[in-house]
């Protein structure tokens, strides 16, 4: 592979600049991020793959520029309409399908302004969530010039993300720091890069840096949430199947089956949470007391508490909300959930559903929400086709795509972060890049992914 040193130097400068902006927002507040708005807007408009790692890195900084990502992706999707002729018809069909409800969602957000007042982020929350799938089309556009070196830089960016958590802004509760949301994808990529390095003997490049960072996280107790670690372990398992050419398993993951199992899991938990909830038979067990223990019994109880005591009550309350009031469009504002715990206590909560599909229905209701649910599932399945290719083992995009697909499935089941403004650009644009590379490989027999100056042997 021909190494572009200028690209590496540019990435290194971008990483340093991102750390500087993160420190500025830590001490001066999110208002500093207004400086990034013209920078991000210009890089998005250029649609140059050289800027993509920089755009990904700047997601670590919370601020106004994050909204530019999503609105720019919507505009770029429309502007590049003719470019999508080079891809299967499903791309244009999906884009047209997703554009249908956009004017109505904009109208809902404008109506919300009178209710939320100055809190514009809440007023436009339905639109921001919906726009979370449009970076897929931005990823398609830049995929034509994406190569192995760019994939490696995304892995290095994930290492930087994980490291930057140590200097993130203090949490509102005063304990620890705010979570940089993209580490929910970055940590699985780091764990997958360790596995990838072991398979391909890239010990110094991937395994050692990832291993050291993972050790530091374990040492300070960060990144030990079940969602993050579960996503990381399942991502590494999927990567192993890809590396071992277990194509039947990969095809099973890259289908509707995981989403069917996800729904079945949620239904089982909701219908049985009073039976399996730990608080129903042992009120002395506290979740926070278990987070420092890594033995099997502790992990088992943590899973049981988090699933049946925490998530199940929220899922049930959210389903009751969307099923008893099956509106086609959202009401003004989002009312609190009426949550009933496993021991019978009832309380109101303004928490999100912690399930992407339920949260979509709660935010957009049935008439608009089903558009987004279909689009969300479609981009994950399309992006996951990259792993079906008969690729060489030494493909740095493999750990990235294995992590992205797994996070999309697990994150939609136990969380609501995949379509958050602080997360969705990196997540869905990587899916777009994956599908773009898949189409190149199928069309040319050897994509320009390996290197812009060489093509893989199509007869391998």
**124: in domain:** yes
Among residues 308, 326, 349, the one where a domain terminates is: 349
Q: Please indicate, yes or no, whether residues 440 and 308 belong to a single structural domain of this protein.
A: no
**Per-residue pLDDT at 218:** 62
Do 135 and 245 belong together in one domain?
yes
- Do 101 and 214 share a domain, yes or no? yes
Asked whether residue 330 falls in the same domain as residue 400, the answer is no
Domain around 345: 268-349
Q: Which residues in 293-319 are b (16+ Cβ under 10 Å) and which e?
A: eeeeeeeebbeebbbbbbbbbbbbbbb
Say how far apart CA 187 and CA 165 lie, in whole Å: 11
Give domain status of residue 145, yes or no.
yes
Q: What is the pLDDT of residue 284?
A: 55
Name the nearest CA neighbour of 372 among 69, 134, 111, 35: 134
Query: What pTM value is reported for the model?
Result: 0.90
Q: Is 120 a domain residue? A: yes
Burial 206-243 (b: 16+ CB within 10 A, else e): bbebbbebbeebeeeebbbbbbbbbbbebbbbbbbbbb
Of 191, 170, 192, 188, which Cα lies nearest the Cα of 179? 170
Q: Does any domain span residue 189?
A: yes
Domain count, the chain: 2
Same domain, 372 and 328: no
Q: For residues 92 and 56, state if they share a domain.
A: yes
- What is the pLDDT at residue 78? 95
Say which residue the tokens 């479609």 belong to.
378
451 inside domain: no
pLDDT at 441: 87
Q: Is residue 457 a part of any domain in this protein?
A: no
Cβ–Cβ under 8 Å, residues 273 and 317 = no
Cα separation, 246 vs 240, in Å, equals 9
Confidence (pLDDT) at 456:
40
Same domain, 273 and 402: no
pLDDT of residue 177: 47
Question: 100 and 9 share a domain?
Answer: yes
Same-domain status, 338 and 378: no
What does the pLDDT read at residue 349? 75
| Residue numbers of the chain with a pLDDT score lower than 50 | 171-177, 223, 447-448, 450-460
Q: Report if residue 89 sits inside a domain.
A: yes
Q: Are residues 230 and 306 in the same domain?
A: no
Residue 194 falls inside a structural domain: yes
Angstrom distances, CA of residue 389 to CA of 12, 57, 342, 380: 31, 28, 46, 16
DSSP 148-179: HHHHHHHHHHHHHHHHHGGGSPBPTTSSSB--
The residues, any chain, with a CB within 8 Å of residue 144's CB and separated by 6 or more, are 436, 440, 448
Distances (CA, A) of 178 to 26, 82, 183, 194: 10, 42, 11, 26
Q: Residue 46 has what pLDDT? A: 92
pLDDT number for residue 94: 97
Are 110 and 152 within one domain? yes
Q: Is residue 163 located within the same domain as residue 45? A: yes
Domain end among 349, 371, 403? 349
């Amino acid at each position: 592979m021909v190494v572009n040193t200028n690209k590496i130097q540019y990435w290194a400068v971008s990483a340093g600049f991102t750390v500087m902006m993160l420190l500025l927002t830590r001490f001066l507040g999110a208002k500093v991020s207004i400086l990034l708005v013209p920078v991000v807007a210009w890089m998005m408009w250029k649609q140059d793959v050289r800027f993509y790692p920089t755009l990904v890195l700047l997601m670590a900084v919370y601020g106004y520029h994050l909204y530019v990502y999503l609105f720019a992706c919507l505009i770029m999707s429309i502007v590049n309409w003719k470019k999508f002729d080079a891809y299967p018809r499903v791309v244009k069909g999906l884009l047209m399908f997703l554009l249908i409800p956009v004017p109505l969602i904009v109208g809902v957000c404008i109506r919300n302004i009178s209710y939320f007042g100055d809190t514009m982020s809440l007023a436009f929350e339905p639109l921001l969530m919906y726009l979370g799938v449009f970076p897929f089309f931005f990823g398609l556009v830049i995929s034509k010039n994406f190569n192995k070196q760019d994939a490696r830089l995304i892995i290095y960016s994930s290492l930087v993300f994980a490291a930057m958590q140590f200097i993130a802004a203090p949490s509102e509760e005063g304990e620890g720091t705010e979570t940089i949301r993209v580490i929910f994808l970055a940590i699985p990529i780091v764990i997958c890069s360790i596995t990838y390095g072991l398979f391909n003997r890239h010990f110094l490049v991937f395994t050692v840096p990832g291993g050291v960072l993972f050790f530091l996280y374990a040492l300070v107790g960060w990144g030990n949430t079940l969602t993050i670690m579960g996503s990381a372990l399942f991502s590494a398992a999927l990567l192993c199947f890809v590396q071992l050419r277990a194509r039947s398993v990969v095809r099973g993951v890259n289908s509707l089956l995981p989403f069917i199992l996800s729904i079945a899991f949620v239904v089982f938990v909701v219908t049985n949470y009073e039976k399996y909830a730990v608080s129903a038979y042992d009120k002395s067990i506290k979740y926070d007391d278990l987070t420092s223990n890594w033995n099997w019994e502790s992990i088992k109880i943590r899973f049981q508490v988090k699933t049946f005591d925490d998530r199940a009550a929220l899922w049930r309350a959210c389903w009751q909300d969307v099923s008893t009031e099956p509106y086609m469009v959202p009401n003004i504002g989002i009312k609190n959930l009426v949550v009933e715990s496993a021991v019978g206590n009832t309380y109101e909560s303004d928490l999100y559903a912690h399930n992407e599909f339920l949260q979509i229905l709660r935010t957009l209701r049935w008439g608009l929400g089903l558009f987004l649910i279909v689009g969300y599932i479609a981009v994950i399945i399309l992006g996951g086709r990259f792993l079906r290719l008969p690729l060489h083992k030494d493909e740095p995009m493999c750990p990235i795509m294995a992590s992205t697909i797994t996070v999309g499935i697990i994150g939609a089941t136990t969380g609501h972060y995949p379509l958050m403004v602080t997360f969705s650009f990196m997540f869905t644009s990587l899916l777009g890049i994956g599908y773009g590379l898949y189409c190149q490989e199928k069309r040319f027999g050897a994509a320009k992914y390996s290197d812009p100056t060489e093509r893989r042997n199509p007869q391998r």
